[in-house]
């Protein structure tokens, strides 16, 4: 599903040059749930930006679902991102001017589609994430956990092959965070969606199948999560 | 220098000046906390947002420039007039005058015999067109004075060696009625030498005058912008067919007599229809005549300043929202509420100061063009103005500086104190909240205030005038403007709600754009409010001019249906100050021309009445009624006609309204042989003069005033299709001896429209400035919106919104704000049009026009402002589309 070959990402030049990623090789299979961890400045956000097609590598190649994205122009990258990738952010990043249903519909609106079938699909997704009764609610009427579930529904509305989550539980209390992680887990299983999640929380990381650790722009460890239970809790 | 380069340099200059001034202020205040805050907080922020700083400064500058330009023009006009009056009046204590046709020379002795009159000298005055090719239509003020007697020299300075020689041996000079002295500056300007011929258009035709000397550039020679000719008054009576009439008697008081007492004595002796006044009062009177135009210009410029104030308020409010975190941190670190308020207020004041200084310079530059346009417009319709120069008084500059700076300061206090009010924790917590919680749907304080203002506007309209100014109406207009501004947030919500119903059919960019409108109601409403003010000015004034011109056209249809119009000196005959009356002898010649059916004579002169100058209109009533219609408000047609022929007069509607005169009343009219009490036969609709008019049957006029001259010959043809051919015939026959204009009916109407258009175009120029400032506000607000929503824009791009979709969203949002402001402005403009027409104009001119909404003005302004608003969104749209997605997502 995702192939990174010799990927580097450099910012700035001269004395202010920073190598955020240094020759990263990484393969992620379809349907895998990978957690990316590392301290501040390790390059995990940069890695996520590249895999999200929000940015392009300085050198190396990235292929997502068989498509190399390094040479795509901005419009092509944007459309690729819209149709193939779902994004979940730490701070939810929902639009305050839209209700829950319309926030879920946003990617479809960007496609120029909002017929009745689309609205039904969006409502179904909200029901799947436990928000059947909240479709017309505005953001100020939703809790943090509810907003994150709306964001997950939004990420799923175009049936993407890949979901990228940047600290999805970072702004939630632990109980709500667990609920969100369980939701991501079940989505991964039910839809065979590949999930890449950046987190600094080891507990959260164990919700995935695999943990990749970064340090100073390099992968320093890449191992499976042994004996996970259904809710993603790592066993001792 | 190309316009773009100039604009870029001006913008850079403005931003740099603001920064420099703030740094200077920071340095000056460095011993105090506020100085240190200025340096550490304000300077970096202003440096970071140079474009927005520049836009704000420019907005203030434009508003101040318009106000300063208008004040300079008003002041320069009055000083120019006063200067000429002073130069001509010299050491005159009192003047006696009585309208354009003048009065009999025999009254001079009556004046001289009054107690308290030391010396009294005669004077005639006429503005003429110079017909020499090298001078190209320049005007000259011709004075007829008794410069041979010693008395006149005691009144005014002539400064002429040739005059001294003439006074010693006047015979040769008096041998011809066509000998003149001209101002030296005029002669030098056009290369005239002693005994050159100066060709002038007079009532008897085009005549060559012999230059016998020059007047130095002092006293009389300096009057009228140095375009003066002086001749012996009796020669002028002959040359200009004035019979035995004078225009004025200048009086020097005998020692020990008070002007007030002598004035009262003379008024009693001569009668109501004569004006006896100190020379300065003439300037006041002329100023009154111009009051309508001056106040119109002033109101328009005040609205431009108001729009500038909106811009400042919006900028400061935006700045406060964007600096919430900064303000929260400052408060958390121990900065007092008052210090925050003072800091933000001081920033606004400094922005206003730089803008005002720039505005002063712009205003002086602008005033030159505006003065030329105003002089040209007023010359035709109101008063002969000298070639006026711009006079910039220090008080004007100080007032402009104070108003701009004060406006900016006040506009900054409100958001500044609001920012400081919250507790630091709340400020920090809500710093990145992009949308306040929606307000309830119930009645708000602003709604109540708006309703109160609307309710108050009606009683304000009924207030009496104050020094001839309809201040109540002005206050009502501003009350309505304020009410509109307060109700704008409601309109924003309503529009967004209505558009919400159509969301399903919209593109995502359009939908998100309209959904964004109510997010910051204050900002959207203020931005739209500025546009609303400008648009309301355009619509109200547009409806006013439309109502005026349509009514005038209807009236011309009814009263001036002639096929050809002959005038001399000016196309509009007696209503123009350039007019040169023609001899009555032309009547028979014109009537005898083949193809001419009837000839009607029209004479229009000034007629002093109760301290003002309405017009006397004399015409052949029978001929008039063969082709035209008299629209009567009082009196019955056939009786009125009979009474007019019998020697009664008719008065116009605005005359009746202004002076409280009705059918059957008697009014005192000054004539060359004394005051007559004439009966009012009827009240009719007439637009000859905005002061009012009195209609005479021609024979009555000639009999009473001894003036048989004609301003306009109106010809009716047997076959109107022969107008061109007859025009050629008339020109061939008369052009060499008369400064003729021969116009067809269509051309004549065109001239009327042109004259009114010249005056109205002055206000249009100010409307445009107000709209430009408002559009600057949209750029400012949209840039701020982009900055506020950087992260949100990053999210949209991350979710797959294309750059062009982002651009479209920002542009549509700007266009919607423009549409909102325009819609509100149109609604308000309709209401203000009524105030302007039926209250302000009615008071100032006495004319009543039925209110006609100008759909043309509405369409014109809408087609201008909405696209301009969309264009204003282009730059912010570009900025939004160019955001780097990853940086935007991290933006706080």
DSSP string covering A50-75: HHTTSS--SEEEEEETTEE-TT--HH
Choosing among B429, B508, B799, which should be mutated to test the A contact, i.e. which has the most A CBs within 10 A?
B799
How close, in Å, is residue B792 to chain A by CA atoms? 7
Flag if A79 and B802 touch (Cβ within 8 Å): yes
Q: How many CB atoms lie within 10 A of CB A159?
A: 11
Q: What angle do CA B618, B635, B621 make, to 5 degrees?
A: 25
Query: Any idea which of A7-11, A48-52, A88-92, A208-212 has the lowest mean pLDDT?
Result: A88-92
Domain ranges of chain A: 2-224
Give percent of chain A above pLDDT 90: 36
Q: Which residues of B touch A93 (CB under 8 A)?
A: 791-792, 795, 889
pLDDT of residue B434: 45
| Residue B253: its H or E element | strand B248-253
At residue B106, what are phi and psi to the nearest 5 degrees?
-65, -25
Flag if A110 and B519 touch (Cβ within 8 Å): no
Residue A186's pLDDT band (boundaries 50, 70, 90)?
A: confident
Burial of B724 (0-12, 13-18, 19+ CB in 10 A): exposed
Residue B199: beta bridge partners? B208
Domain boundary at B277, B298, B329, which? B277
**Residues near A44 by beta carbon (within 8 Å), at least 6 away in sequence:** A36, A37, A38, A198, A214
Q: Domain for residue B392, yes or no?
A: yes
Same domain as B114, residue B249? yes
Residue B384 confidence (pLDDT) above 60: no
User: For A17, how many CA atoms within 13 A lie in the half-sphere containing its CB?
Assistant: 9
pLDDT of residue B3: 57
What's the pLDDT tens digit per position in B633-682?
A: 999 999 999 999 999 999 999 999 889 999 999 998 877 667 789 999 99
Between B572 and B676, the higher pLDDT residue: B676
Residue B272 confidence (pLDDT) above 80: no
Query: Any idea which of A112-121, B328-337, B345-354, B419-428 has the lowest mean pLDDT?
Result: B419-428
In chain A, the largest separation of any two C-alpha atoms, in whole Å, equals 56
Same domain as B597, residue B515? no
**Cα dist from B70 to B356, B374, B391, B710, B714, whole Å:** 15, 10, 12, 37, 39
Same domain as B450, residue B387? no
What region, left, alpha or beta, does residue A43 occupy, with left being phi > 0 and alpha being psi -120 to 50 degrees? left
| Residue B97: its H or E element | strand B94-97
Domain boundary at B277, B306, B340, which? B277
Q: What is the mean pLDDT of chain B?
A: 83
Residue B237 confidence (pLDDT) above 60: yes
Residue B209: beta bridge partners? B198
Same domain as B101, residue B82? no
B841 secondary structure, DSSP code: I
pLDDT of residue B431: 56
First-to-final CA distance of chain B: 41
Closest CA in chain A for residue B804 = A75
Rounded distance, CA A69 to CA A81, Å?
A: 10
- Whether the CB of A76 is below 8 Å from some CB of chain B: the reply is no
Highest average pLDDT, of A232-236, B153-157, B753-757, B861-865, comes from: B861-865
Contact B94, B410 (CB under 8 A): no
B220 secondary structure, DSSP code: G
- Whether the CB of B504 is below 8 Å from some CB of chain A: the reply is yes
Domain boundary at B413, B433, B453, which? B433
Give percent of chain B above pLDDT 90: 27
Choosing among B432, B492, B508, which should be mutated to test the A contact, i.e. which has the most A CBs within 10 A?
B508
What's the pLDDT tens digit per position in B801-824?
A: 999 999 999 999 999 999 999 999
Rounded distance, CA A204 to CA A40, Å?
A: 17
Looking up tokens 């994205």 gives: A69
Mean pLDDT to the nearest integer, A188-204: 87
- Whether the CB of B429 is below 8 Å from some CB of chain A: the reply is no
Q: How many CB atoms lie within 10 A of CB B805?
A: 20
Same domain as B309, residue B412? yes
Residue B587's pLDDT band (boundaries 50, 70, 90)?
A: very high
Contact B762, B377 (CB under 8 A): yes
Among residues B566, B579, B605, the alpha carbon closest in space to that of B128 is found at B579
- Whether the CB of B508 is below 8 Å from some CB of chain A: the reply is yes
Q: Which of A55, A96, A107 sits opposite B435 (nearest CB)?
A: A96
Residue B18 confidence (pLDDT) above 80: no
Flag if A55 and B886 touch (Cβ within 8 Å): yes
Tokens of B751: 């001239």
- Whether the CB of B800 is below 8 Å from some CB of chain A: the reply is yes
Contact B606, B593 (CB under 8 A): no
Closest CA in chain B for residue A108 = B508
Between B224 and B125, the higher pLDDT residue: B125
* Relative orientation angle of helices B50-89 and B279-289, to the nearest 10 degrees: 140
Question: What ranges in B737-799 are assigned the alpha helix state H?
Answer: 745-788, 790-799
What's the pLDDT tens digit per position in B730-756?
A: 988 887 777 788 999 999 888 887 777
Q: Which of B798, B803, B805 sits opposite A81 (nearest CB)?
A: B798
Flag if B798 and A110 touch (Cβ within 8 Å): no
Tokens of A184: 């991501």
Same domain as B687, residue B596? yes
First-to-final CA distance of chain A: 30
Q: Domain for residue B567, yes or no?
A: no
Among residues A183, A111, A107, the alpha carbon closest in space to that of A147 is found at A183
**Cα dist from B307 to A96, B407, B773, whole Å:** 31, 11, 7
**Cα dist from B533 to B276, B299, B761, whole Å:** 45, 12, 19
Q: Per the structure, how many domains does chain B have?
A: 4
From chain A residues 96-115, the ones with a CB under 8 A of any chain B CB are 96-98, 106-107, 109-110, 112, 114
Burial of B367 (0-12, 13-18, 19+ CB in 10 A): buried
Flag if A54 and B798 touch (Cβ within 8 Å): yes
Mean pLDDT to the nearest integer, B303-321: 71
Q: Which of B507, B512, B800 sits opposite A81 (nearest CB)?
A: B800
Residue B783 confidence (pLDDT) above 90: no
- Whether the CB of B449 is below 8 Å from some CB of chain A: the reply is no
CA dihedral B428, B434, B440, B445 (to 10 degrees): 70
What's the pLDDT tens digit per position in B177-187?
A: 899 999 998 99
Q: Is B161 helix (H, G, I), strand (E, B) or coil?
A: helix
Tokens of B732: 């061939």
CATH class, domain A2-224, is alpha beta
**Residues near A223 by beta carbon (within 8 Å), at least 6 away in sequence:** A210, A211
Q: What is the mean pLDDT of chain A?
A: 87
Residue B188: beta bridge partners? none
DSSP string, A132-171: GGGTT--GGGS-HHHHHHHHHHHHHTT--SEEEEESTTTT
Among residues A168, A228, A216, the alpha carbon closest in space to that of A18 is found at A216
Domain residues for the domain of B254 are 94-277
Rg of chain B in Å (alpha carbons): 33
Q: What angle do CA B764, B686, B569 make, to 5 degrees?
A: 70
Closest CA in chain A for residue B438 = A140
Same domain as B450, residue B424? no
Q: Which of A75, A107, A112 sits opposite B799 (nearest CB)?
A: A107
Q: Which of B511, B802, B886 sits opposite A109 (nearest CB)?
A: B511
Residue B63 confidence (pLDDT) above 50: yes
**Cα dist from B882 to B48, B253, B876, whole Å:** 18, 81, 10
DSSP string, A176-223: HHHHHHHHHHHHHHHHT-EEEEE-S-HHHHTTSSEEEEEETTEEEEEE
**Cα dist from A113 to A75, A103, A125, B445, B857, whole Å:** 19, 14, 17, 42, 40
Closest CA in chain B for residue A92 = B795
Same domain as B99, residue B82? no
Contact B248, B120 (CB under 8 A): no
Q: Domain for residue B569, yes or no?
A: no
Is the CA virtual torsion B171, B176, B182, B184 positive or negative?
negative
Q: Domain for residue B571, yes or no?
A: no
pLDDT of residue B436: 46
Is the CA virtual torsion B356, B361, B362, B366 positive or negative?
positive
- What SS3 string covers B259-294? HHHHHHHHHHHHCCCCEEECHHHHHHHHHHHCHHHH
Among residues B58, B70, B60, the alpha carbon closest in space to that of B763 is found at B70
pLDDT of residue B260: 87
Cβ-based contacts under 8 A for chains A and B: 64
Flag if A83 and B800 touch (Cβ within 8 Å): yes
Rounded distance, CA B77 to CA B527, Å?
A: 36
Length of chain A: 236
What's the pLDDT tens digit per position in B130-144?
A: 888 777 667 788 999
pLDDT of residue A218: 93
Q: Which residues of B touch A171 (CB under 8 A)?
A: none
- Whether the CB of A74 is below 8 Å from some CB of chain B: the reply is yes
- Whether the CB of B808 is below 8 Å from some CB of chain A: the reply is no
pLDDT of residue B286: 62
Residue A154's pLDDT band (boundaries 50, 70, 90)?
A: very high
**Residues near B395 by beta carbon (within 8 Å), at least 6 away in sequence:** none
pLDDT of residue A217: 92
pLDDT of residue A230: 44
Q: Which residues of A touch B885 (CB under 8 A)?
A: 54-55
pLDDT of residue B136: 66
């Amino acid at each position: 599903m995702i192939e990174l070959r010799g990927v580097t990402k450099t910012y700035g030049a001269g004395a202010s040059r920073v190598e955020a990623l240094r020759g990263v090789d990484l393969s992620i299979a379809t349907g895998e749930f990978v957690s990316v961890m590392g301290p501040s400045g390790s390059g995990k956000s940069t890695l996520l930006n590249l895999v999200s097609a929000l940015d392009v590598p300085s050198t190396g190649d990235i292929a997502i679902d068989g498509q190399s994205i390094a040479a795509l122009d901005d419009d092509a990258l944007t459309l690729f991102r819209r149709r193939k990738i779902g994004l979940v952010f730490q701070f939810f990043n929902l639009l305050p001017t839209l209700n829950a249903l319309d926030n879920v519909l946003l990617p479809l609106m960007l496609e120029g589609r909002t017929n009745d079938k689309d609205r039904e699909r969006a409502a179904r997704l909200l029901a799947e994430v436990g928000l059947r009764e909240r479709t017309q609610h505005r953001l100020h009427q939703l809790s943090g956990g509810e907003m994150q579930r709306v964001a997950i529904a939004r990420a799923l509305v175009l049936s993407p092959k890949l979901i990228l989550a940047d600290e999805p539980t970072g702004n939630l209390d632990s109980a709500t965070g667990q609920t969100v992680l369980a939701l991501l887990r079940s989505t991964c299983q039910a839809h065979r969606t590949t999930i890449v999640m950046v987190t600094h929380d080891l507990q959260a990381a164990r919700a995935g199948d695999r943990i990749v650790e970064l340090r100073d722009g390099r992968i320093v460890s890449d191992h499976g999560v042994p004996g996970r239970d259904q809710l993603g809790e790592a066993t001792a | 220098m190309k316009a773009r380069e100039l604009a870029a340099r001006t913008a850079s200059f403005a931003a740099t000046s603001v920064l420099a001034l703030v740094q200077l202020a920071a340095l000056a205040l460095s011993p105090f906390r506020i100085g240190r805050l200025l340096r550490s907080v304000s300077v970096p922020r202003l440096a970071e947002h140079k474009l927005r700083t520049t836009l704000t400064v420019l907005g203030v500058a434009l508003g101040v420039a318009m106000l300063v330009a208008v004040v300079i023009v008003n002041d320069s006009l009055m000083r120019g007039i006063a200067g000429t009056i002073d130069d001509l009046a010299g050491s005159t204590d009192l003047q006696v005058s009585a309208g354009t046709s003048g009065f009999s020379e025999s009254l001079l002795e009556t004046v001289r015999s009054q107690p308290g009159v030391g010396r009294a000298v005669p004077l005639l005055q006429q503005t003429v067109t110079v017909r020499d090719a090298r001078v190209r239509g320049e005007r000259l003020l011709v004075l007829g004075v008794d410069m041979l007697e010693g008395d006149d020299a005691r009144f005014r300075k002539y400064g002429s060696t040739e005059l001294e020689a003439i006074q010693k041996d006047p015979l040769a000079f008096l041998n011809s009625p066509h000998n003149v002295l001209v101002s030296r500056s005029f002669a030098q300007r056009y290369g005239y030498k002693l005994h050159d011929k100066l060709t002038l258009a007079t009532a008897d035709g085009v005549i060559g005058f012999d230059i016998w000397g020059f007047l130095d550039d002092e006293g009389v020679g300096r009057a009228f912008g140095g375009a003066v000719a002086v001749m012996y008054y009796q020669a002028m009576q002959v040359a200009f067919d004035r019979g035995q009439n004078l225009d004025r008697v200048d009086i020097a008081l005998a020692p020990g007599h008070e002007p007030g007492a002598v004035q009262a004595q003379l008024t009693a002796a001569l009668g109501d229809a004569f004006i006896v006044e100190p020379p300065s009062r003439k300037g006041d009177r002329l100023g009154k005549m111009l009051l309508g135009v001056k106040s119109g210009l002033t109101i328009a410029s005040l609205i431009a300043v108001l729009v500038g104030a909106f811009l400042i308020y919006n900028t400061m409010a935006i700045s406060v929202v964007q600096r919430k975190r900064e303000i929260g941190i400052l408060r958390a670190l121990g900065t007092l509420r008052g210090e925050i308020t003072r800091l933000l207020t001081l920033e606004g004041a400094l922005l206003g100061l730089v803008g005002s200084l720039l505005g002063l310079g712009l205003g002086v530059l602008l005033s030159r063009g505006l003065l030329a346009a105003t002089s040209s417009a007023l010359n035709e319709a109101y008063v002969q103005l000298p070639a006026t120069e711009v006079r910039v008084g220090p008080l004007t500059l100080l007032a402009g500086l104070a108003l701009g700076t004060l406006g900016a300061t006040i506009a900054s206090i409100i958001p500044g104190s609001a920012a400081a009010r919250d507790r630091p924790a709340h400020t920090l917590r809500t710093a990145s909240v992009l949308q306040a919680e929606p307000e309830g749907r119930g009645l708000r304080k602003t709604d109540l205030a708006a309703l109160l203002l609307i309710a108050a506007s009606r009683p304000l309209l009924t207030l009496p005038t104050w020094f001839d100014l309809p201040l109540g109406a002005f206050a009502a207009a501003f009350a309505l403007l304020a009410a509109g501004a307060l109700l704008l947030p409601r309109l924003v919500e309503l529009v967004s709600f209505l558009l919400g119903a159509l969301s399903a059919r919209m593109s995502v960019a359009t939908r998100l754009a309209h959904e964004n409108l109510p997010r910051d109601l204050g900002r959207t409403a203020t931005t739209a409010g500025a546009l609303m003010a400008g648009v309301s000015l355009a619509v109200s004034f547009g409806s006013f001019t439309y109502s005026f011109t349509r009514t005038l056209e209807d009236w011309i249809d009814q009263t001036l249906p002639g096929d050809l119009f002959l005038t001399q000196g000016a196309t509009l005959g007696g209503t123009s100050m350039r007019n040169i009356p023609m001899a009555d002898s032309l009547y028979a010649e014109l009537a005898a021309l083949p193809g001419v059916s009837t000839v009607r004579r029209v004479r229009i002169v000034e007629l002093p009445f109760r301290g003002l100058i309405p017009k006397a209109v004399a015409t052949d009533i029978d001929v008039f009624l063969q082709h035209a219609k008299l629209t009567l408000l009082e009196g019955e047609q056939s009786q009125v006609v009979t009474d007019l022929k019998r020697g009664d007069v008719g008065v116009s509607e605005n005359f009746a309204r202004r002076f409280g005169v009705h059918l059957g009343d008697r009014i005192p009219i000054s004539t060359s042989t004394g005051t007559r009490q004439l009966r009012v036969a009827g009240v009719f609709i007439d637009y000859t003069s905005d002061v009012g008019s009195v209609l005479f049957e021609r024979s009555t006029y000639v009999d009473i005033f001894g003036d048989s001259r004609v301003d306009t010959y109106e010809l009716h043809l047997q076959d109107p299709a022969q107008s061109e051919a007859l025009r050629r015939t008339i020109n061939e026959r008369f052009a060499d001896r008369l400064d003729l204009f021969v116009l067809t009916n269509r051309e004549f109407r065109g001239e009327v429209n042109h004259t009114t258009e010249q005056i109205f175009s002055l206000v249009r120029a100010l409307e445009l400035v107000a709209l430009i400032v408002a559009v600057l506000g949209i750029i400012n607000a949209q840039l701020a919106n982009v900055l506020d929503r950087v992260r949100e824009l990053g999210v949209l791009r991350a979710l797959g919104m294309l750059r062009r979709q982002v651009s479209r969203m920002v542009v549509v949002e700007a266009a919607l704000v423009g549409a909102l402001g325009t819609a509100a402005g149109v609604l308000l403009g309709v209401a203000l049009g009524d105030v302007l027409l039926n209250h302000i104009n009615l008071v100032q001119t006495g004319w009543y026009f039925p209110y006609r909404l100008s759909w043309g003005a509405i369409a014109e302004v809408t087609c201008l402002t909405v696209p301009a608003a969309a264009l204003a969104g282009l730059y912010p749209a570009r900025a939004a589309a160019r955001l780097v997605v990853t940086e935007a997502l991290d933006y706080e």
